[in-house]
Amino acid sequence: MNITINGEQKTVPDHITVTEVLELFKIVTATIVVEHNGAIIQPDSYAGSYLAEGDRLEFIRLVGGG
Amino acid sequence: MLTIAGTSFVSRLFVGTGKFPSAGIMKQALEASGTQMVTVALRRVDLDNPEDDIMRVLDKDRYTFLPNTSGARNADEAIRLARLARTASGSNWLKLEVTPDPRTLLPDPVETLLATETLVKDGFIVLPYINADPILALRLQDIGAAAVMPLGAPIGTNQGLLTRFQIEIIIEQACVPVVVDAGIGAPSHASLAMELGADAVLVNTAISIAGDPVAMASAFAKAVEAGRSAYLAGMGKVTTNAQASSPESGQLMDDLSFLS
């Protein structure tokens, strides 16, 4: 199925969870925040958050800035 | 000692972490600056380079992190970023930044006021980045901003305190700390802000793009300390006419009066 991650169209397996998407893209979760369809989800919910066709994910982190 | 929202800081130099040539140089520069407050931004994880993580090199016990909402163009975007920042940083500190115009990066006063109101109610410690507008500074203070951060000049321009006179009024009127932010391009600019009575300054570009960022960080630390000491010592008045600094009586010329 197709989902949008950080504004980019990505094809991922059906019935996938947020945890699995993070593993797929080799993202270490300790210092990131996840938004699922515009709502922040907490780390303990990643494994139970299943994605559907057309869903939007944002993976955000702190970077250098003024 | 500077206290903001119940947290005390010995150093009055806040440092931004953007645009350093490497994470290692940034770490060393922060140490050389003596800072205890560093700003960070929020961005999307680079899916092609997911390991690139600034937080791995920063000592979380040493610094208070002040995430900003850079990139937000209105109050709603800033509030969304603020909530992401709180989750990412695990703290309520926030530099509120609403800059709708990418050319000037000047802050939107109306959206900043609206966002501050919401975020203060939501438990954030809000330090709004503002144009040097004394009335706006008072309005923000009244609705619960923990400090105000007036700009000296537009972000990254290194032009110094172009807004000096408005900043002086803000300092005179404010009950919350005043942190001069943006435009500070040289240690002398930072020193001037402190001499005027600013509670702290925030410097990023002037340090991070210097030929030697570590040495520049150290120079800023000295300048901020010198400016603060001068402010506390009490500066002399600025006058138009000369005021002799040597004694005016008993001058040698008295003995030579026969020449006239």
Residue B150 to residue B178: CA distance in whole angstroms: 7
Q: pLDDT band at B162, cuts 50/70/90?
A: very high
For the stretch B116-151, pLDDT in tens is 999 999 999 999 999 999 999 999 999 999 999 999
Residue A59 to residue B155: CA distance in whole angstroms: 27
Q: pLDDT band at B260, cuts 50/70/90?
A: low
Q: What values do phi and psi take at B206, rounded to 5?
A: -60, -30
**The token pair that represents B80 in the structure block:** 């969304």
**Mean pLDDT, residues B233-260 taken together:** 81
For the stretch A1-53, pLDDT in tens is 999 999 999 999 999 999 999 999 888 877 799 999 999 999 999 999 999 99
Coil, helix or strand for B55?
helix
Residues in chain A: 66
Q: Report, as residue numbers or ranges, the catalytic residues of B.
A: 95
For the stretch B19-56, pLDDT in tens is 999 999 999 999 999 999 999 999 999 888 777 777 77
From the CB of residue B138, how many other CB atoms can be counted at a distance below 10 Å? Answer: 16
Interface contact B67-A27, CB threshold 8 A: no
The topology (CATH level 3) of A2-61 is Ubiquitin-like (UB roll) (3.10.20)
Percent of chain A with pLDDT over 90: 85
Identify the closest residue of chain B to A35 by CA–CA distance. Answer: B84
- Measure in Å the smallest separation between the Cα of B241 and chain A Cα atoms: 42
Identify the closest residue of chain A to B66 by CA–CA distance. Answer: A66
For the stretch B171-196, pLDDT in tens is 999 999 999 999 999 999 999 999 99
Percent of chain B with pLDDT over 70: 98
- Res B248: pLDDT: 78
- Res A28: pLDDT: 81
Interface contact A63-B43, CB threshold 8 A: yes
Q: Which residues in chain B have Cβ-Cβ distances shorter than 8 Å to A58?
A: 44
Interface contact B41-A66, CB threshold 8 A: yes
- Res B253: pLDDT: 67
DSSP assignment string, B170-236 = HHHH-SS-BEEES---SHHHHHHHHHTT-SEEEE-HHHHTSSSHHHHHHHHHHHHHHHHHHHHH-PP
Delimit the domains of chain A by residue range: 2-61
Q: pLDDT band at B254, cuts 50/70/90?
A: low
For the stretch A24-37, pLDDT in tens is 988 887 779 999 99
**Mean pLDDT, residues B231-254 taken together:** 85
Coil, helix or strand for A59?
strand
Q: Which of B194, B191, B187, B182 is nearest to B215 (CA)?
A: B187
Residue B182 to residue B128: CA distance in whole angstroms: 12
- Res B58: pLDDT: 86
Q: Above 80 in pLDDT, residue B220?
A: yes
* Residue range B2-259, CATH number: 3.20.20.70
Delimit the domains of chain B by residue range: 2-259
Q: Which of B7, B33, B6 is nearest to B16 (CA)?
A: B33
Strand duo A56-64 + A32-36: pairing = antiparallel
Residue B65 CA from chain centroid, whole number: 14
Residue A65 to residue A60: CA distance in whole angstroms: 14
Q: Above 70 in pLDDT, residue B243?
A: yes
Interface contact A61-B42, CB threshold 8 A: yes
Q: What values do phi and psi take at B173, rounded to 5?
A: -95, -20
Q: pLDDT band at B244, cuts 50/70/90?
A: confident
Higher-pLDDT residue of B51, B79 = B79
- Measure in Å the smallest separation between the Cα of A33 and chain B Cα atoms: 6
- Res B64: pLDDT: 94
Q: Answer for the pair B119, B94: CB distance below 8 angstroms, yes or no.
A: yes
- Res B192: pLDDT: 98
- Res B46: pLDDT: 87
Residue with token string 């000049």: B153
Q: Above 70 in pLDDT, residue B246?
A: yes
Percent of chain B with pLDDT over 90: 83
